[in-house]
Structure 1
Amino acid sequence: MLDNLFCCISEPGDAVLLPRPYYAVFEFDVQCKAGSTIVGVETVGVQPEVKGVERYYPTLKGLEKARDSALQQGLNPKVLLICQPNNPISVCYPKHVMELVWEFAEKHGMHLVSDEIYGAGIHAKQADFWSISRLAADKGRTLGDYVHVIYALSKDFASSGLRCGMMYSENQQVLKSMRKLNDLCQISSHTQWGLSRVFSDTEWIEDFLSKANSRLNDRFKLVKKSLEPEGVKVIEAEAGLFCWLDCRSWLEENTWDAEKKLYQQFFDEAKVLLTPGYSMRTEQPGYFRCCFATHEEVFNEGMKRLKDFGADKLRIEELEEESDDWQTGKYGKFPTTT
């Protein structure tokens, strides 16, 4: 869905601004058909005084810096892509952040794409999910021709194999182009029939999501309970199937090479596969994404292995909160592969 959309609204030489860290497959979605280029938006690095999860929110300073970087590279800043709720941080951007990104996109005549694939998977009671469509309704306005919303059933409904996604846009030219592109990737009649039956039962849908999100929140709390005593800081997750781990106290040194080594140790020694932060273009070494939505026995074994692995690790209580430039920053050369 995303690669078709970007094929419609961007082309080679265009830049897609995307707050860091971000799901690395976005790079494929942006580059595969459209040939456009992602320019990362710094979050942590432009607001070092901010603590907590708020430091991952995009800011006007970070957005303008990314736009200027794109222009300096000879690229045309064409699209702003937002993942709401965020992957990999697992938080919902609050209302004021969604207002900011929309105002920024409008100011610069850019398309705004809101990928809300985890939008029905809000599991934290304190979370307040602001879809871009909710924001439009709150302001009594339409989305207009430059805002596009993406959703799919693969995450919240555990149906990735059905390959069923959807887009909402009020731009008639984009819709016409998407219809033609989707001729090559249509959903089978059998799948459409089955899904129509499922989604006709609204009572079942509400019950399923309520139970699923309750279980996700319980599982997240178990991650915190298991890993925080071992020196891992677990960022408070609000949505989705994963959480963001601060494993910097387990690094041998505060460098990208040390993060890559730790990733390999997780795999070789603990036999646990975590997604390293550098593959998601994070700004500091030592962060990993942990997917916890799996069978109970698998989850329990994974937590046990991580706890055992971390039992003898050196504790570094405080580490500076600074950004890296991906390639030749203060933490060493940024890894190019996992």
Structure 2
Amino acid sequence: MGFISNINNELLSKVATNNGHGENSAYFDGWKAYEIDPFHPTQNPNGVIQMGLAENQLCFDLIQEWVVNNQKSSICTAGGCEEFKEIAIYQDYHGLPEFRRAVARFMSKVRGDKIKFDEERIVMSGGATGAHELLAFCLADPGEAFLVPTPYYPGFDRDLSWRTGVQLFPIICESSNNFKVTKKALEDAYNKAQESNITIKGLLLNNPSNPLGTILDMETLKDTIRFINDKNIHLVCDEIYAATVFNEPKFISISEVIISENVQCNLDLIHIVYSLSKDLGFPGFRVGIIYSYNDVVTKCARKMSSFGLVSTQTQYLISDMLLDDTFIEKFVVESRERLEKRHGVFTKGLENIGINTLESNAGLFCWMDLRSLLKENTFESEIELWRMIINDVKLNVSPGCSFHCCEPGWFRVCFANMDDDTMRIALRRIEIFVVQYKGINNIIEEGIENSLPIAPGPVSFTSISSSNNRGRSSIAESNELETQI
């Protein structure tokens, strides 16, 4: 006797059957395209290259070296098995004391030791995803909303809204001022929400920004403090990319701003979300952190954290690593240097192809300007272009519309989740596509071959979208172009 499958959604909850996860979007569709046909340099050289995932894989050699030299820090090695029982048994959901102390010290270090964080305020969660949802549960009721500057990370719709019923209300930022968050934009969004009878409970800032790769300056941060104090709403600062700032201007944490002179702030309104997913490159460890200056929120969040704790095995390993000052100082410096180098090589490669990016100095991605390739200045045209890039160029980049960008033609492209050879192949694919798409017959003399040694490996586009006759007419040239590159 087999199981009977009942697909009647009326028997399920509204949360289970709604589209609040946001999975039906170009952002997640790109991931699916990669999973179906993943690039491999030898086994699948014509597969999709993953450039839609903000992972920091540039310093794993340093991590591996530390793990080999510190086997006692893992309970699953001969050197650390004596601690297995103590770590495997039940632990308080406050977290291991040494783990909270290590995280507090690391947060201070990546912020230039300008701020001392209290380990008693460290609340752990299953990644930044769990931390955001947990804060949303603490700060707002279903139907209430957070203001969020656009463009913003697509996962925020899932993290803060899907199961909580909290809304995200956009603050419209534009390319004319490099998507800067202005006082006028803040006020306009708040007033528009009021007109729609939406209760605003907080402001969510992502600093450094995903997808822009930019940081908020001191004056902008002070303006946001004045704004949330005036409106008596919360400020949630997502600072998960704090240690990825690789060039001037330096990162300024909200924790630094609230102790500045001439800044009056109700500390009960300030909350920070952090994780080790981006700064250390440990997304699989699911280490998310809430740091709230509000005692009630800290206590409530700690109770709620029992639904998404970090394993004690992970806490044990991480605490030893973060408390190794010599290693951490070396790692942070080296990571920033490698990110700066990769960012420079990648953006220069795009520039030589004729593609501009928003000027940035942080993060694991670039905000790429493809407006000149749009057939029309519409989001429909943006999606059409994105489909060509996914299906024909075989690159998973993310269209701006999935980040709620108000202007079509912008794309986020990640550069730190691959090795140098894969990056070179990706740049070559982009060049071939741009040449074909624009109907150019010859490679630009000052192309990427003059600035970057190209790794071996075939590139083959089976078609360019049928809606683009110029691209289709140049398909036959692709093999010749590959040879030239």
Residue aligning to 2:86: none
Q: Distance in 2 between matches of 1:147 and 1:33?
A: 23
Q: How does 1:1-338 map to 2 (within 5 A)?
A: 1-44=131-174, 48=176, 50=177, 53=178, 56-124=179-247, 126-139=248-261, 144-293=267-416, 294-314=418-438
Q: Distance in 2 between matches of 1:34 and 1:245?
A: 33
Q: Which moved more, 1:7-16 or 1:139-148?
A: 139-148
Q: Is the 8 A contact 2:229 2:265 kept in 1?
A: no
Q: Distance in 2 between matches of 1:312 and 1:107?
A: 54
Q: Distance in 2 between matches of 1:68 and 1:10?
A: 19
Q: Which moved more, 1:272-281 or 1:202-211?
A: 202-211
SS at match of 2:267: coil
Q: How far off is 1:13 after superposition?
A: 2.0
Q: Is the 8 A contact 2:229 2:266 kept in 1?
A: no
Identity of aligned residues (%): 32
Q: Distance in 2 between matches of 1:247 and 1:209?
A: 33
Q: Is the 8 A contact 1:7 1:33 kept in 2?
A: no
Q: Distance in 2 between matches of 1:141 and 1:254?
A: 44
Q: Distance in 2 between matches of 1:236 and 1:159?
A: 27
Change (3 A) 1:145 1:42: same
SS at match of 1:167: strand
Q: Distance in 1 between matches of 2:395 and 2:293?
A: 44
- Map Cα deviations across residues 136-157 of structure 1 (whole Å, 9 max, x no partner): 2323877610010111000110
Q: Distance in 1 between matches of 2:271 and 2:257?
A: 13
For these two proteins, the number of residue pairs brought into alignment is 307
Q: Distance in 2 between matches of 1:76 and 1:24?
A: 22
Q: Which moved more, 1:285-294 or 1:234-243?
A: 234-243
Amino acid at match of 1:128: K
- Map Cα deviations across residues 153-187 of structure 1 (whole Å, 9 max, x no partner): 00110000110011111211111110111011111
- Map Cα deviations across residues 173-232 of structure 1 (whole Å, 9 max, x no partner): 111110111011111111110011101111211111111111111111112211123231
Q: Distance in 1 between matches of 2:395 and 2:420?
A: 15
SS at match of 1:303: helix
Which structure's CA Rg is the greater one?
Answer: 2
Q: Distance in 1 between matches of 2:369 and 2:187?
A: 28
Q: Is the 8 A contact 1:231 1:247 kept in 2?
A: no
Q: How far off is 1:60 after superposition?
A: 1.3
SS at match of 1:227: helix
- Map Cα deviations across residues 85-140 of structure 1 (whole Å, 9 max, x no partner): 0110000110001011111011000000010000111112x222110001123238
Q: Distance in 2 between matches of 1:301 and 1:92?
A: 30
Change (3 A) 1:239 1:97: same
- Map Cα deviations across residues 217-270 of structure 1 (whole Å, 9 max, x no partner): 111111221112323111122111111001111112211111001110101111
Amino acid at match of 1:118: Y
Q: Distance in 2 between matches of 1:190 and 1:175?
A: 24
- Map Cα deviations across residues 3-39 of structure 1 (whole Å, 9 max, x no partner): 0011000111211100000001111122123211111
Q: Distance in 1 between matches of 2:264 and 2:220?
A: 18
Residue aligning to 2:88: none
TM-score by length of 1: 0.87
Q: Distance in 1 between matches of 2:298 and 2:358?
A: 38
Change (3 A) 1:141 1:197: farther
Q: Distance in 2 between matches of 1:275 and 1:202?
A: 37
What is the Cα-based RMSD across aligned positions, in Å? Answer: 1.5
Q: Which has the higher contact order (CA 8 A, sep 6+)?
A: 2
Q: Is the 8 A contact 2:225 2:265 kept in 1?
A: no
Q: Distance in 2 between matches of 1:209 and 1:188?
A: 24
Q: Is the 8 A contact 2:240 2:279 kept in 1?
A: yes
Q: Which moved more, 1:273-282 or 1:292-301?
A: 292-301
Structure 2 residue runs of 5 or longer lacking an equivalent are 1-130, 440-485
Q: Distance in 1 between matches of 2:322 and 2:190?
A: 41
Q: Distance in 1 between matches of 2:423 and 2:344?
A: 13
Amino acid at match of 1:127: P
Residue aligning to 2:31: none
Q: Is the 8 A contact 2:226 2:265 kept in 1?
A: no
Q: Distance in 2 between matches of 1:230 and 1:298?
A: 17
